[in-house]
Chain A
Amino acid sequence: MTTTTSTRSTGLGRVLIAVYGLLALAATGRSVFQLLDDFEKAPVAYSLSALAAVVYILATIALIAPGSRWYRIAVLTIGFEFVGVIVVGLLSIYDPVLFPAKTVWSGFGKGYGYVPLVLPVLGMIWLYLHRPSAAKAAPTTSAAA
């Protein structure tokens, strides 16, 4: 009867969505600039950066939209970017030519205050707490959130 899965957009979840939206905006802006300005310098890194921006936008939408399908998309996008920031972080240390410093995932998100590293962890915790089965089993948790 009730859309219990929409509880992931209440309370602290709103701040999570806001920060994801902010990161999506910043990553998209930075990516647009890099694609226009300097693409030949690091085409792999900048293409990956553009992909990251798209994934952040998707993650923001998936956190806002209710329903189990969007929940799965949120899990996939947030999981993907967590893997991305770890892998690119490591690669940017070991191969700075292929991955120069200025992409959103370089240095584990160093250029963005490590937000790209911490945020997906918080996101995954939030998604776990608000997973559809938990919401159906204990609807009072949404009031506590």
Chain B
Amino acid sequence: MIEWFTWVQLAVAFPAGLLCVVLGLAGRRPADLTMGALALVEVLLLGQVVVSIVAPLAGNAPTGSALEFWVYLVTAAIIPPLAIVWGLVDRSRWSTVTLGVAALAVGVMLYRMYQIWFVQVA
């Protein structure tokens, strides 16, 4: 993990999550903005996968358990695609809320990953 990149991801995931939940409760169906937000979260997660593979080779390794980190990262990376598919299949306001819940969950996972990489000792 790279610290500033993680902060960028958190700064995208949490506002995107809140935005989608609010828009969903307000009755908006999944649209470019909400689906695009989840797509952006996913792109950043895929970037995080690359970073997390390369960083230890450059001397930046997690202080905590690498296995635990990767379980979180793989789980997080599965979530936005599932949410987006959900939004395509069920075009209701509740799908928009689901997009939001998914983004918030990814945010929480990113925060846990941050702790495992930078704070926790294995």
Count how many chain A residues have C-beta atoms less than 8 Å from C-beta atoms of the other chain: 17
Q: A30-B71, A36-B67 are in contact. Are A14 and B105 (CB under 8 A)?
A: no
Cα distance, A19 to B108, chains bound together (Å): 14
One of A11, A25, A30, A36 near B94 (C-beta < 8 A): A11
Binary interface encoding of chain A residues 28-54 relative to chain B, with 1 for a CB under 8 A from any of its CBs, else 0: 011011001100000000000000000
Count how many chain B residues have C-beta atoms less than 8 Å from C-beta atoms of the other chain: 23
Q: Is there an interface contact between A29 and B74, defined as CB atoms closer than 8 Å?
A: yes
Cα distance, A37 to B6, chains bound together (Å): 25
Q: A36-B67, A37-B67 are in contact. Are A15 and B75 (CB under 8 A)?
A: no
What residues of chain B lie closer than 8 Å to A30, measured between beta carbons? 71
Closest A residue to B105 using CB positions: A22
Q: Is there an interface contact between B71 and A18, defined as CB atoms closer than 8 Å?
A: no
Q: Is there an interface contact between B68 and A22, defined as CB atoms closer than 8 Å?
A: no
- Chain B proximity of A62: nearest CB distance (Å): 18
Q: Is there an interface contact between B68 and A33, defined as CB atoms closer than 8 Å?
A: yes
Cα distance, A11 to B94, chains bound together (Å): 6
Tell whether A91 is near chain B: CB-to-CB under 8 Å. Answer: no
What residues of chain B lie closer than 8 Å to A87, measured between beta carbons? none
Q: Is there an interface contact between A33 and B71, defined as CB atoms closer than 8 Å?
A: yes
Binds A, one of B7-15, B29-37, B53-61, B96-104: B96-104
Residues of A within 8 A of B (CB): 11-12, 14-15, 18-19, 21-22, 25-26, 29-30, 32-33, 36-37, 113
Residues of B within 8 A of A (CB): 65, 67-68, 71-72, 74-75, 78-79, 82-83, 86, 90, 92, 94-95, 97-98, 101-102, 105, 108-109
The 3 closest A-B pairs by CB, nearest first: A29-B75, A18-B98, A33-B71
Q: List 6 A-B contacts (CB under 8 A).
A: A18-B101, A21-B82, A25-B79, A26-B109, A29-B74, A29-B75
